[in-house]
Amino acid sequence: MMTVSHDVVIVGGGLAGLRAAVGLCRKYDVALLSKVHPIRSHSIAAQGGINAALANNPDSRDDTWEKHTFDTVKGSDYLADQDAVEIMCREAPGIVYEMEHWGCPFSRFPDGSIAQRPFGGAGYPRTCYSTDLTGHVLLNTLYERAVMMGVTVYPEWYVTALATDDGVCHGVVAFDLMNGQIVPIAAKATIFATGGYGRVYFYSTNALINTGSGIGIAYKAGVPLKDMEFVQFHPTGLIGTNILMTEACRGEGGYLVNNKGERFMEKYAPKAMELAPRDIVSRSIQTEINEDRYFEHPLGKYIKLDLTHLGEKKILAKLPGIRKICLDFIGIDPILEPIPIMPCQHYSMGGIDTNARTATEVQGFFAAGECACVSVHGGNRLGGNSLLETIVFGKIAAGAIDEYLSSGAAVPKEKIVIRRAGDLEARIAALVSGGTEKTFVLHGELAKTMSANVGIFRQRTETEKALEEIGRIKERYRNVGISSPSRHMNYELMNAIELEYMLDVAHTIALGAFLREESRGAHFRTDFPKRDDEKWLKHTIARMADGTNPDISFRDVSITRYKPMERVY
């Protein structure tokens, strides 16, 4: 079995992974592994913008990083670790200017400064953008930088396991999809930047690659997960396809309208209206649907996102990508008619438990971006903070790994990595030998269970039902099989391996939602509709207990200067 060795292995080719690679490759032998080509990573799907207190907008002249911090902490429903939030918001202006200097084509105000638009939950217009393609331009800018600096990229390589032993990470086991080979990769330091778990849900804005397997791999290797019950639902997914209709639609002045012609957000957030935080807007839309104030379409029940009053000129200048998506996928022109939308799973506030330096409790293993939980988003992420988090903590991860390697990192043990590769060989042999259960059937049942029972509104009986169903699917997964023994470009094989990790991830989400008897941020329990700071101002920590079930404990939230108060918009 061929063994590969690098100083640093980065898993994930999105913004967090690329920024870490750029920060390390001049000094170390860095390998970046991505299950797709890096510029097809899910970072490219982010549309609306990246937050930074630049104070360029005429309405944000008094903006500061401290005010950005407060908005983020308040938006998190006070579950975010405030020391980590302060780091992110303080770093934000420098990160945006760094990306600008590297060639990122931001939209501009007439004076040439970087344009900024309003976003939900923000006290000032601080979201920097490039029309509605911000993730696209940021990702391409960083990928070009990585290519220029000679980062070694392994595209279409799936990482299937972490190689850990006695609290130390020695590398990863990868599957080269093009050649059908299992490759043990030894490394002094490993960083996961593998993105979120959207495909655990049936209705999601996420790409098909967002299975959450990176989170599941870390969990299976003994790394704890944090705050997994906090799942963000974006208010405006296109009906039928669930493609994201960016918050910039509302930031530029779009309205949400029910079947009575009402801008109903006035009932739920009279000051912020459509620019309330995402958890509030999603619950408001779902309430309108549940109470029969919806429109009907063959593809489902929906609310209207109305941009028609913005006019053709503004839509073509600020939201051209949204118009093209609507024309291509549902055959409507938002210049002429409203967009049919519904809330969809969108983002993972929880993830791999890390500190503010991206380190985990396993020596030599780091995590950044959506797969990690620092925690800077707490119970609810503000729009514009996800792109910021990826690049800020990708950069911080590079610095932390440099410090770790410079201080004398452990020499990786190849035999540990080879042993884990042998486990994968055995797993593939079992899948090929012919179980009767099909991966796509089990995945479909899991996704429908999660959307139905661990969604925007939750209660005890529904989360219990989800846990029971996940347990049944786990039992059936023992008998899963694949139809072809070929390893070359065998996506059925990879999907079967990933499903095991998806089941573990779903289990931690559902159990956290069952145990947290309060409503905070995106976690809303109809049987416990109030926030309870006395009992629940704490993080949920999930560990693999017995190879199958999570063991849950709790940890205090880091509070610096912002004491919890009522969250009003």
d(CA 294, CA 267): 16
CB 366 within 8 Å of CB 393: no
Q: Which of 42, 145, 199, 234 is catalytic?
A: 234
CB 346 within 8 Å of CB 365: no
Residues contacting 203, CB < 8 A, separation 6+: 237, 242, 342, 343, 344, 345, 451
478 is catalytic: no
Residues contacting 156, CB < 8 A, separation 6+: 34, 35, 36, 37, 176, 177, 178
**Other beta carbons less than 10 A from residue 422's beta carbon:** 14
Question: From residue 543, how far is each of 164, 302, 501 by CA, in Å?
Answer: 15, 38, 14
Segment holding 521, helix H or strand E: none
Nearest to 141 by CA among 90, 97, 88: 97
d(CA 115, CA 508): 40
d(CA 462, CA 34): 36
Assigned token pair, 197: 């778990």
d(CA 22, CA 60): 32
250 is catalytic: yes
Nearest to 280 by CA among 531, 49, 567: 567
Per DSSP bridges, beta strands 168-176 and 181-192 are antiparallel
Catalytic positions are: 234, 250
